[in-house]
Amino acid sequence: MKKFNTAILFSTVLFLLININFVIADIPALLLQEDHCVSCHSELEILPEDFQDYDSHLQIGLSCSGCHGGDPTSEDPEKAMSPKAGFIGVPSTKAIPKLCGKCHSNIDFMRTYQPRIPTDQVQQYFTSVHGKQLLKGDEKVAECASCHTAHAIASAKDARSSVYALNVPNTCKKCHSDADYMKGYHIPTDQYEKFARSVHGKDLLEKSDTGAPACNDCHGNHGAAPPGVESVAHVCGNCHVNNMNYFEASSMAEPFANLDIHACEQCHGHHDVEKTTDDMVGVGENSVCTQCHSTGDAGYQAAKEMHQSISEFVNDYNQAEAQLKDVQQKGMDDVDILYLLQEAHQTLIHTRTLVHTFSPDKISEKTSEGVKKTSEAMDLAKKEIRDYHVRRRGFGIATLFITVLVVALFFKIRGMERNQKKQS
């Protein structure tokens, strides 16, 4: 029995040794035949912790020796990992950017794999805070592998990648939310918490909307740096183009710059940007205008006027929407009302964008346009509701007419049959 068990064990090991593909199914077969790094390390179960067979480099045939050097064709570990064969072991943090750059900064080389791939990552990296600190000898900062991992690298479009949009906040969080690790840098460590609460964070992390910005969309990828006063509007303006253009052309742009106030951040915050409301404009409790303006000054008055125009329009719009629902509930024609309300909604979005001009006149001009559309929609809705009642009254008249005919016919038949009986 013992012999039998030993035979089974032996044949299993033999099978696995011969058929290494059985162990690592997704690694190209040819690579395994020629590359003894992967086969030996797999058999001995000493592959790196983050090793994944979907790794982009591994998938195109660039194996361990591509970065670590050595001779992968040799079955003898001594020879395979000898410095003579170029083996460098685990590269130091400081050496990593240049190591990756060996290929990734070489445009001719990279073109053979992906014709449109950028090759300035290393150059950009050294302009970032991370890169600059690394040059100063700080080895705690992020280098390529910190974000991309070393052995599970995948395209940023691949959902398994650590730099896929939905995974970016968690990748950055690994260091930036670790208060102990960040000690000494004198920067906050609550960015992730704030971001997760923000309108952007909710869209990205809760709704998995990859269109919402992750850390890198504002801070950059390889050239990661916090945006300064002069560039913050441009960062937000990447997506919120009209808001940025209106703000820059407004009378507020210059005073903001002179006072060193962050353009967008002053009213909206940064990591914790909340969903905007109309009450942010005006002089009410939730107003951001009153942070700087107070009773009597021109800004205060302008804020009040802007809020009033928007509120009136929104009220009208909500009323028209309620009437639309009534029309729909009654099964009447809602097509034209819907179109008008769609237009009005566009106008409302435009009005809210125009808030960044800080001009009560421009806002009032736009809201008047919107109010005109909503009142047209309301008129149509009223007409449809009136028609609904007319139809019922029309039926009443028609049915009355038919009922009179039915009754008349009834008496006619009765009278006729009585006469027929009398005659017979």
CB of 346 to another protein, least distance (A): 23
CB of 322 to another protein, least distance (A): 21
- Residue 209, Cα to own-chain centre: how many angstroms? 4
For tokens 């107070």, what's the residue?
Answer: 294
CB of 325 to another protein, least distance (A): 16
Residue of the chain from 392, 418, 422, 423 that contacts another protein (CB under 8 A): 392
Residue of the chain from 9, 17, 90, 416 that contacts another protein (CB under 8 A): 416
Stretch that binds another protein, among 62-70, 91-99, 233-241, 386-394 (CB under 8 A): 386-394
For residue 56, the tally of other CB atoms under 10 A from its CB is 16
Nearest to 220 by CA among 148, 110, 102, 127: 127
CB of 281 to another protein, least distance (A): 38
CB of 386 to another protein, least distance (A): 15
Shorter beta-carbon distance to another protein: residue 102 or 414: 414
Residue of the chain from 15, 113, 406, 419 that contacts another protein (CB under 8 A): 406
CB of 333 to another protein, least distance (A): 4
Residue of the chain from 135, 412, 418, 419 that contacts another protein (CB under 8 A): 412
Stretch that binds another protein, among 59-67, 134-142, 192-200, 397-405 (CB under 8 A): 397-405
HEC string of 201-264 equals HHHHHHCCCCCCCCHHHHHCCCCCCCCCHHHHHHHHHCCCHHHHHHHHHCCCHHHHHHCCCCCC
Shorter beta-carbon distance to another protein: residue 8 or 405: 405
- The 175-214 site mask, x for binding another protein (CB under 8 A), equals ----------------------------------------
What CA–CA distance (Å, rounded) separates 182 from 372? 56
CB of 323 to another protein, least distance (A): 17
Judged by CB under 8 A, the chain residues 134 through 173 that form the site for another protein are none
What are the Cα distances from residue 334, in Å, to 195, 316, 346? 41, 18, 18
Nearest to 155 by CA among 164, 143, 165: 164
Q: For 417, phi and psi rounded to 5 degrees? A: -70, -35
Shorter beta-carbon distance to another protein: residue 241 or 409: 409
CB of 402 to another protein, least distance (A): 5
DSSP run (H or E) holding 19: none
Q: Which residue type occupies 24?
A: I
Largest CA distance in the chain: 134
Per CB under 8 A, 405 contacts another protein: yes
Stretch that binds another protein, among 58-66, 112-120, 263-271, 390-398 (CB under 8 A): 390-398
Q: What is the DSSP letter of 100?
A: H
Q: What would the two tokens of residue 364 be?
A: 């009032």
Nearest to 63 by CA among 147, 164, 151: 151
Give Cβ neighbours of residue 370 (< 8 Å, ≥ 6 apart).
Answer: 313, 316, 317, 344, 347, 348, 351
Give Cβ neighbours of residue 176 (< 8 Å, ≥ 6 apart).
Answer: 182, 187, 189, 191, 192
Residue of the chain from 10, 22, 181, 410 that contacts another protein (CB under 8 A): 410
CB of 422 to another protein, least distance (A): 15
Using CB under 8 A, count the residues that bind another protein: 20
Residue of the chain from 7, 90, 187, 402 that contacts another protein (CB under 8 A): 402
Per CB under 8 A, 390 contacts another protein: no
CB of 194 to another protein, least distance (A): 39
What CA–CA distance (Å, rounded) separates 283 from 310? 13
Residue of the chain from 50, 206, 254, 417 that contacts another protein (CB under 8 A): 417
Per CB under 8 A, 397 contacts another protein: no
CB of 195 to another protein, least distance (A): 35
Judged by CB under 8 A, the chain residues 318 through 337 that form the site for another protein are 331, 333, 335
What CA–CA distance (Å, rounded) separates 151 from 66? 12
What are the Cα distances from residue 355, in Å, to 82, 247, 309, 362? 67, 9, 11, 9
- List contacts with another protein (CB under 8 A): 331, 333, 335, 391-392, 394-395, 398-399, 402-403, 405-406, 409-410, 412-413, 416-417, 420
